[in-house]
Amino acid sequence: MSVPALLAISALAKGASAAVASTFTAPAAAPTDTSPFYVGASNGTITNSPLVPGKVFDRFIQIWLENTNYASAASQPTFQQLSTQGITLTSYYGVTHTSEPNYLAAVGGDFWGLYDDDFVAIPSNMSTIVDLLDEKSISWSEYMENMPSDGYAGFNYTNPDSYTYYVRKHNPLIMYDSVAQNSTRTARIRNFNDFAVDVGNNSLSQWIFVTPNLRDDGHDTDVAYASDWLTYWLPSLLNDTNFNNDRTLILFTFDETEVYTINNQVYSILLGGVIPENLRNTTDNTFYTHYSTLSTVESNWDLGNLGRQDTNKTVANVFSFVADVTGYKNLDVTDIPLLNITETIPGPLNPQYYVPYLAPTNGTGGGSGPTYIAPGTNMTLNAANAPAPVNLTANANGSRAGIRSAEGARLWISAGSAIVVGIIVSTLV
Ligand SMILES: *[C@@H]1O[C@H](CO)[C@@H](O)[C@H](O)[C@H]1NC(C)=O
Ligand SMILES: *[C@@H]1O[C@H](CO)[C@@H](O)[C@H](O)[C@H]1NC(C)=O
Ligand SMILES: *[C@@H]1O[C@H](CO)[C@@H](O)[C@H](O)[C@H]1NC(C)=O
Ligand SMILES: *[C@@H]1O[C@H](CO)[C@@H](O)[C@H](O)[C@H]1NC(C)=O
Ligand SMILES: *[C@@H]1O[C@H](CO)[C@@H](O)[C@H](O)[C@H]1NC(C)=O
Ligand SMILES: *[C@@H]1O[C@H](CO)[C@@H](O)[C@H](O)[C@H]1NC(C)=O
Ligand SMILES: *[C@@H]1O[C@H](CO)[C@@H](O)[C@H](O)[C@H]1NC(C)=O
Ligand SMILES: *[C@@H]1O[C@H](CO)[C@@H](O)[C@H](O)[C@H]1NC(C)=O
Ligand SMILES: *[C@@H]1O[C@H](CO)[C@@H](O)[C@H](O)[C@H]1NC(C)=O
Ligand SMILES: *[C@@H]1O[C@H](CO)[C@@H](O)[C@H](O)[C@H]1NC(C)=O
Ligand SMILES: *[C@@H]1O[C@H](CO)[C@@H](O)[C@H](O)[C@H]1NC(C)=O
Ligand SMILES: *[C@@H]1O[C@H](CO)[C@@H](O)[C@H](O)[C@H]1NC(C)=O
Q: Which of 380, 421, 423, 427 gets mutated to test ligand 11 (max ligand atoms within 8 A of its CB)?
A: 380
Gap from CA of 177 to ligand 3 centroid (Å): 21
Number of residues assigned to the chain: 429
> Above 90 in pLDDT, residue 415?
no
Residue 43 beta carbon below 6 angstroms from any ligand 1 atom: no
Alpha-carbon span 338 to 350, nearest angstrom? 19
Q: Which is more confident, 272 or 396?
A: 272
Check if CATH label 3.40.720.10 holds for domain 3-385.
yes
Alpha-carbon span 303 to 367, nearest angstrom? 5
> Above 90 in pLDDT, residue 305?
yes
Gap from CA of 299 to ligand 10 centroid (Å): 29
Q: Write the CB contacts of 417 (distance below 8 Å, at least 6 apart in sequence).
A: 395, 396, 397
Question: What 3 state SS string does 99-120 have?
Answer: HHHHHHHHHHCCCCCCCCCCCC
Alpha-carbon span 140 to 144, nearest angstrom? 13
Residue 159 beta carbon below 6 angstroms from any ligand 3 atom: no
> Above 80 in pLDDT, residue 185?
yes
pTM, rounded to two decimals: 0.92
* pLDDT reported for residue 77: 97
Q: pLDDT grade, residue 401 (50/70/90)?
A: very low
* pLDDT reported for residue 395: 65
Nearest CA residue ID for atom 11, ligand 9:
362
Ligand 9 pocket residues where CB is under 6 Å: 362, 370, 379, 382
Residue 200 beta carbon below 6 angstroms from any ligand 1 atom: yes
Gap from CA of 420 to ligand 11 centroid (Å): 17
Gap from CA of 373 to ligand 9 centroid (Å): 9
Instruction: Give the side-chain half-sphere CA count within 13 A for 256.
Output: 26
Q: Write the CB contacts of 160 (distance below 8 Å, at least 6 apart in sequence).
A: none
> Above 90 in pLDDT, residue 19?
no
Residue 95 beta carbon below 6 angstroms from any ligand 8 atom: no
State mean pLDDT over 360-370. Answer: 97
Gap from CA of 104 to ligand 11 centroid (Å): 25
* pLDDT reported for residue 389: 96
Residue 235 beta carbon below 6 angstroms from any ligand 5 atom: yes
> Above 70 in pLDDT, residue 7?
no
What residue ranges do the domains of the chain occupy? 3-385, 390-429
Name the percent of the chain lying above pLDDT 90. Answer: 86
State mean pLDDT over 42-48. Answer: 97
The answer to whether 35 and 213 have CB atoms below 8 angstroms apart is no
Atom of ligand 8 nearest to the CA of 313: 1
pLDDT tens readout for residues 111-144: 999 999 999 999 999 999 999 999 999 999 999 9
Q: Write the CB contacts of 135 (distance below 8 Å, at least 6 apart in sequence).
A: 303, 304, 372
291-300 helix and 99-108 helix, angle to the nearest 10 degrees: 20
* pLDDT reported for residue 394: 81
Ligand 6 pocket residues where CB is under 6 Å: 260-263, 338, 340
State mean pLDDT over 177-193. Answer: 98
* pLDDT reported for residue 403: 66
The answer to whether 322 and 251 have CB atoms below 8 angstroms apart is no
Q: pLDDT grade, residue 404 (50/70/90)?
A: low
Alpha-carbon span 34 to 49, nearest angstrom? 25
Name the percent of the chain lying above pLDDT 70. Answer: 87
Gap from CA of 158 to ligand 3 centroid (Å): 9
Gap from CA of 45 to ligand 1 centroid (Å): 6
The answer to whether 238 and 270 have CB atoms below 8 angstroms apart is no
* pLDDT reported for residue 246: 98
* pLDDT reported for residue 405: 56
* pLDDT reported for residue 418: 27
Q: Which of 216, 217, 220, 284 is catalytic?
A: 220
Closest-approaching ligand to the CA atom of 150: 2
> Above 60 in pLDDT, residue 51?
yes
Catalytic: 58? no
Q: Which of 115, 343, 391 gets mutated to test ligand 12 (max ligand atoms within 8 A of its CB)?
A: 391
* pLDDT reported for residue 20: 74
Residue 167 beta carbon below 6 angstroms from any ligand 3 atom: yes
Q: Which of 34, 39, 42, 43 gets mutated to test ligand 2 (max ligand atoms within 8 A of its CB)?
A: 43
Q: pLDDT grade, residue 317 (50/70/90)?
A: very high
* pLDDT reported for residue 397: 52
pLDDT tens readout for residues 372-390: 999 999 999 999 999 999 9
